[in-house]
Structure 1
Amino acid sequence: MPLAHLSQDVILKQIIESTPAPKIAFDYTDDPARNRVYLALLESIVSQQISTKAANSIFARFLALFPDGYPYPEQLIAKSPEELRSAGLSGQKSIYLQSVAAFALENPMDNAFFSGMSDEEIVQYLLPIKGVGRWTVEMLLMFVLDRPDVFPIDDLVIRQKMVKAYGLTETGRALYKRLHEIADRWRPHRTLASRYLWRWKPDG
């Protein structure tokens, strides 16, 4: 059982016992015409560097620009910069969104296609898209493709929580090395461990 395995780490065991079980973060349709990965990439770009509340509002206005509330790639590419800005999007994010759409028109992005690829292969496959970084793809792996063993070390909250929980004093490369060493003990359930860390309230 994943929790039994993770609880072999005494510190993580305490976190699990004091933290509500993680909930599914994304709930996208399984309609093959409405690609989950594509939609999640768009939402992730909209969410970059703004609050969750603002991101939800802008993404809702963005979806409302399309006839049935779904930004099919060909429809998104056809939108003018002015139309996209009317939803509250910056010029840069508008370019990134259309980059995702252009990629989706030329390359497969469905669950069946990704099922035969490793986590790292998926990262490398999607990184060429403008506005998409490793962290973004790792979020897709965890919450959309349901990959069980992802450790998003570039996530600031994950690093801060681990530093606090394990009393780490290292910095820079030494810190990253130490974080990987700790997380290696969680394999093959690092996704679940990370989700508990996100929900954990150290002072709670």
Structure 2
Amino acid sequence: MTATTVDMEVRGPWSLATGRAFWEGFAPAALPAARGDDLTTVLLVEADWSRAEASVAQDGGTAAITVDGDGDLDAAAAQVARFLALDVDATFWPAVGERDPVIAEVQAGLPGLRPCGFHSPYEAAAWAVLSQRIRIPQAATLRSQLTDRHGDRGAFPAPAVLRGLELDLPGRKAEYLRAVADAALDGLLDGLALRSVPPEEAIRLVQQVKGIGPFAAELVVVRGANAPDAVPHHERRLDDEITARYGDGATVDSVSAAWRPFRTWAAVHLRAAREGRLHEFG
């Protein structure tokens, strides 16, 4: 394997420590707890479906992204920047808190948090299928078993591998996973492509995949492609948090105009604050 390091200027607030703590508690694709200050993970590079090991270090406003693998390492580094939201110019993210005191409060409680989650829309779509109609811990176990048995040394199985598996899974999950794999190979779940169109259009496109409904499509775009300015309309716990903080009758549409162009970020902060109180991310 070969390695490369990219030094990237991160514009706006950013704390790698806050982001890593959040991701370590993100049940669908949690990082293992690690010693030291760096964030490390193993990912499937969607440019060529190769495996890469990634490490991210912070030096002030600079991110040092090191990727090690046999595939397209430039694409791997760009993908790491995307799923950690380091590619977003967040210079004006603090201004959202100036317009909305509720967001200011959660920003203060999660200093420097940037939304992070799935390595790619493909992995987010696979999770959406696995987690349908079962509890999150059960779905996380299924995902871990798939990765351990059919993945590449900690990386989730590549689409070409996943589509060929004969899986014994509840309901129509095996069928839907094959549809997700086909969509990934056809480019329908490409992170750059989904980020290049308005989030509403991206969500409609993802719903073309068999087994992916409105809630799952939002997950793929918001937490897989990491679109910074999308509005989730199918997250009950987000709706509950909005009611708790803004009052009865408040909805995501009625309060989110002040969050532009960081509506995803505001929503993730509200969810993170809520789950922090409940001692569970996901």
- Both proteins in one fold, TM over 0.5: yes
The Cα RMSD (Å) is 2.7
- Is 2:227 the counterpart of 1:147? yes
1:166 corresponds to which residue?
A: 246
- Is 2:134 the counterpart of 1:90? no
- Is 2:268 the counterpart of 1:195? yes
Q: 1:55 to 1:20 in 2, by over 3 A?
A: farther
> Equivalents in 2 of 1:112, 1:67: separation in Å?
23
> Equivalents in 2 of 1:124, 1:201: separation in Å?
28
Instruction: Provide TM-score, normalisation by structure 1.
Output: 0.76
Q: 1:109 to 1:189 in 2, by over 3 A?
A: same
1:79 corresponds to which residue?
A: 165
| Aligned ranges 1:16-31 → 2 under 5 Å | 16-19=107-110, 22=113, 24-26=115-117, 28=119
Aligned residues with identical type, % of pairs: 23
Which has a greater percent of strand?
2
1:32 corresponds to which residue?
A: none
CA-to-partner distance for each residue in 1:63-97, whole Å, 9 max, x for gaps? 233263543333322222xxx12xxx313111211
> Equivalents in 2 of 1:57, 1:140: separation in Å?
20
1:122 corresponds to which residue?
A: 202
Q: Report deviation, 1:165.
A: 0.8
Q: 1:93 to 1:101 in 2, by over 3 A?
A: same
Alignment-mate amino acid for residue 196 of structure 1: H
> Equivalents in 2 of 1:78, 1:157: separation in Å?
36
Aligned length, in residue pairs: 184
Q: Which runs of 5+ in 2 are unaligned?
A: 1-91, 278-282
Q: 1:107 to 1:17 in 2, by over 3 A?
A: closer
> Equivalents in 2 of 1:203, 1:121: separation in Å?
31
Q: 1:70 to 1:196 in 2, by over 3 A?
A: closer
Alignment-mate amino acid for residue 156 of structure 1: R
Q: Which runs of 5+ in 1 are unaligned?
A: 29-35
Alignment check: 8 A CA contact 2:106 2:270 kept: yes
Which has a greater percent of helix?
1
Alignment check: 8 A CA contact 1:20 1:199 kept: no
Match of 1:12 among 103, 117, 121: 103
> Equivalents in 2 of 1:78, 1:202: separation in Å?
37
Alignment-mate amino acid for residue 200 of structure 1: A
Instruction: Provide TM-score, normalisation by structure 2.
Output: 0.57
> Equivalents in 2 of 1:110, 1:198: separation in Å?
26
Greater relative CO, 1 or 2 (CA 8 Å, sep 6+): 1
CA-to-partner distance for each residue in 1:131-181, whole Å, 9 max, x for gaps? 21222222232233231111112100110011111111x4xxxx6xx4312
- Is 2:141 the counterpart of 1:61? no
Q: 1:49 to 1:25 in 2, by over 3 A?
A: farther
Q: 1:203 to 1:166 in 2, by over 3 A?
A: farther
2:75 corresponds to which residue?
A: none
Match of 1:132 among 212, 215, 220: 212
Alignment check: 8 A CA contact 2:189 2:206 kept: no
Q: 1:193 to 1:136 in 2, by over 3 A?
A: same
Alignment-mate amino acid for residue 138 of structure 2: A
1:106 corresponds to which residue?
A: 186
SS in structure 1 at match of 2:245: helix
